[in-house]
A = this chain, B = another copy of it.
Amino acid sequence: MRTEHDYVHGYSGRERQRLADQADTLAELLHSDTFYPSGVVLEVGCGVGAQTVSLARRSPEATIVAMDIAADSLAVAQERIRSAGFRNVVFQQGDVYAMPFAPDAFDHVFACFVLEHLSRPRDALAHLRHVLKPGGTITVIEGDHGSTYFHPESPYARKAIQCLIELQARAGGDSLIGRTLYPLVLESGFQHVTVSPRMVYVDASRPRLVEGFTTNTFTAMVEGVRERALAAGLIDEDTWERGIRDLHRTAESDGTFCYTFFKAVATT
């Protein structure tokens, strides 16, 4: 079972800001085609509510039940939703493997950046199918760190990224999960599985993405595991520093950066 401590990105204030930046930059790309005209939607692993805001805004007539295992995160999410003025979200602490809901309780399930942190994503999906009404839908959004490439290329930057992938794997997760969503959702018993990639391409003609994605989302995410990567002996300090410098280098005027998220939609 995942504990709070296992969350690879940690729970610092800086991480909260990173998640907020990420949500703003990516909301359109990831969520623009998610709209629930009515019904009850379970958001699994809402965390600090970074995606909950998008959900609540885009589906004002739906009721969103935002669940997370971490009470601290839920409190932050609750405050964020309250201060943004949304009234269609309720919060519930819960574990995806033992949810406090009746079967068939929900019309829809929404899970964004959650399965990547779970050691048994198939089991989690099976549990989620169980709380969905017949004909209900599930929407799953995940990244894939192996989809990352950039210019100029750098073996040091690749090694730094590999630390994040390795630490997430050691915590029981899978940061390469995006490309596996199709078989994963299908093999969990869902039907009509449709996966669409959402690629982020960044060059200097898109300054908002340079800052919002390359620097403040992806590079900041890698930088966030510095201490753990060094402590685990996954990399030496010089290689790490050079790798981070080379990631920042891709944000210069002649650099480019690519990353792809995957969105799966399916029915029970």
Interface centre among A193, A203, A253 (most CB of B within 10 A): A203
Q: Would A199 and B256 count as touching, CB distance under 8 A?
A: no
**Cβ-defined partner of A258 (8 Å) among B147, B203, B204, B255:** B147
Find the B residue at minimum CB distance from A181.
B256
B197 touches A182 (CB 8 A): no
Q: How far is the CA of A116 from the CA of B147 in the complex (A)?
A: 21
Alpha-carbon distance A203/B255, docked complex (angstroms): 31
Which of B149, B176, B201, B253 is in CB contact (< 8 Å) with A146? B149
For chain A, the count of residues having a C-beta within 8 Å of the partner chain is 30
CB-defined contacts of A182 to chain B, threshold 8 Å: 203-205, 254, 256
| Nearest Cβ on chain B to A187's Cβ, whole angstroms | 7
Closest approach, in angstroms, between the C-beta of A147 and any C-beta of chain B? 6
> Please, which residues of chain B bring their CB within 8 A of the CB of A196?
201
Nearest CB on B from A201, distance (A): 4
B183, B194, B204: the one within 8 Å of A256 (CB)? B183
- Residues of A whose CB lies within 8 Å of any CB of B are 144, 146-147, 149-151, 153, 176, 179-180, 182-183, 186-187, 193-197, 199, 201, 203-205, 253-256, 258, 260
